[in-house]
Amino acid sequence: MGELSTQRLLLRHWRESDLDPWAEMNADPQVREFFPNLETREKSTAAVARFQAGLEERGWGWWAVEVAATGEFIGFTGLNPISANMPFTGVETGWRLRRTAWGHGYATEAARACLAYGFDVLALPEIVAFTAAGNVRSEAVMRRIGMTRDLNGDFDHPNIPDGPVRRHILYRIAAPAS
Ligand SMILES: CC(C)(COP(=O)(O)OP(=O)(O)OC[C@H]1O[C@@H](n2cnc3c(N)ncnc32)[C@H](O)[C@@H]1OP(=O)(O)O)[C@@H](O)C(=O)NCCC(=O)NCCS
């Protein structure tokens, strides 16, 4: 069914009921601090359609994340093929949680499940992650899940206009030796 579960979380397909809290978090200046702009409701909804299509097509992608004990939708975590216009190739992991879900270890827990899926099920040789330079919370997740910064990997994100969040840093993790 293409869903993952962890001790506290369910990484699942998207539901209609996710759209309101998802649009709300994408309009939150704290959540969007390291993005070039706040996201409109229209763009948020279109992103969910793309995420859900990816999950249906491949069985993996950007999963909606909910807290298993309460059913609360808190954001997304997942794995995604890297776009062709990026300066590297492969599969990335990433996360975005609503502000009230920060500080609980949820991003780290969800991302660990994604790495395990990527290595154990998809047999990926490597997974990367990237974020705007200065996004220390995201970088901390990368480090907690065992990724290492590629010191030669800094790049200007091709989809982000010139400005303070264009410069990105790159982290990598190789598949564990079998
Ligand atoms: C990036 C982001 C997901 C990180 O969230 P986060 O809450 O800092 O990270 P985690 O979910 O892994 O939680 C770690 C924190 O929970 C704490 N924590 C509390 N209970 C915990 C538990 N049971 N287990 C583990 N950690 C726990 C940790 O101590 C840590 O706290 P600290 O930040 O004070 O050191 C969040 O800041 C976010 O959504 N930002 C906006 C979107 C974004 O920038 N995404 C990345 C773009 S590439």
Domain encompassing residue 131:
4-174
Assess whether the C-beta atom of 77 lies below 6 angstroms from ligand 1.
no
Q: Could you identify the atom of ligand 1 that is nearest to the CA of residue 135?
A: 44
Structure confidence at residue 2 (pLDDT):
87
**Does the structure show a pLDDT above 80 at 65?**
yes
The CATH number of the domain holding residue 146 is 3.40.630.30
Average pLDDT of the residues in 17-45 = 97
Q: Rounded to 10 degrees, what is the CA torsion of 95, 46, 11, 38?
A: 30
Nearest CA to ligand 1 atom 48: 131
**Does the structure show a pLDDT above 80 at 63?**
yes
Nearest CA to ligand 1 atom 14: 105
**Does the structure show a pLDDT above 90 at 115?**
yes
Report the mean per-residue pLDDT for the chain: 97
**Does the structure show a pLDDT above 80 at 178?**
no
Assess whether the C-beta atom of 134 lies below 6 angstroms from ligand 1.
no
Nearest CA to ligand 1 atom 42: 96
DSSP the chain: ---EE-SSEEEE---GGGHHHHHHHHT-TTTTTTSSS---HHHHHHHHHHHHHHHHHHS-SEEEEEETTTTEEEEEEEEEEPPTTSSS-SEEEEEEE-GGGTTSSHHHHHHHHHHHIIIIIS--SEEEEEEETT-HHHHHHHHHTT-EE-TT--EE-TTS-SSTT-EEEEEEEEPPP-
**Does the structure show a pLDDT above 70 at 23?**
yes
- Tell me the whole-structure pTM to 2 decimals: 0.98
**Total number of domains constituting the chain:** 1
Nearest CA to ligand 1 atom 24: 105
Q: How far is the CA of 139 from the centre of ligand 1 (A)?
A: 10
